[in-house]
Structure 1
């Protein structure tokens, strides 16, 4: 486990978990942006493949979202997605398709109730779990 610590405000964490829950049984995805290691914004993205084990978002949708993030002078801190029925561990598919080693991966698993969330840094074919904190508002 890495010493890097990320902070997510409770309201953003709740929005992310609810977005995943409302899209079950399919995976859902989005971006978390902010400054340094503090999440300030959430960007829900539509999973265009309606799959229980994959997500896909059009390049144009991602580019438009990135423009909005840049306008706020934030940076993408993580891509989040859900695992409706499996553990919150990156699959080989998740790792292979992860676009940028500078952007973390957050996975929410609905295999249990309440859901379990894990934050990872992906480096090549390996991943390292990071600590994150949910900040009470």
Structure 2
């Protein structure tokens, strides 16, 4: 299910020519029916006159606020991308999951993290080429639950 607030396009099922647009939109997901169809809103804020099945939708942009926070209101770390400071007193530049703009990256201290997993992954990736005896680091793509 796409989160409420996501931006989607609708498949044009009445297309009669390759020259016609394959998708129409954009629309915003405003809710769901009990049959798991989507209730959509057009850019002017009007409800679409029909409900749309999942297989007729193409996700354009997921709503970051509803998708990227955990149940307890914490944001999820996509990756740590830099550090500053001295050993034992580092600040880490965090790329948050769903916030891809560089303006959304923030500096955090080590105590701000719920888990040391991302910090360890950062240092493993940072030092990957320095010692051939070390195991290869995990990909940040595989750390997202």
TM-score, structure 1 as length reference: 0.24
Between structures 1 and 2, the one with greater strand share: 1
Question: Which of these two proteins has the greater Rg computed from alpha carbons?
Answer: 2
- Report which structure shows greater RCO (CA 8 Å, sep ≥6): 1
TM-score w.r.t. the length of structure 2 is 0.23
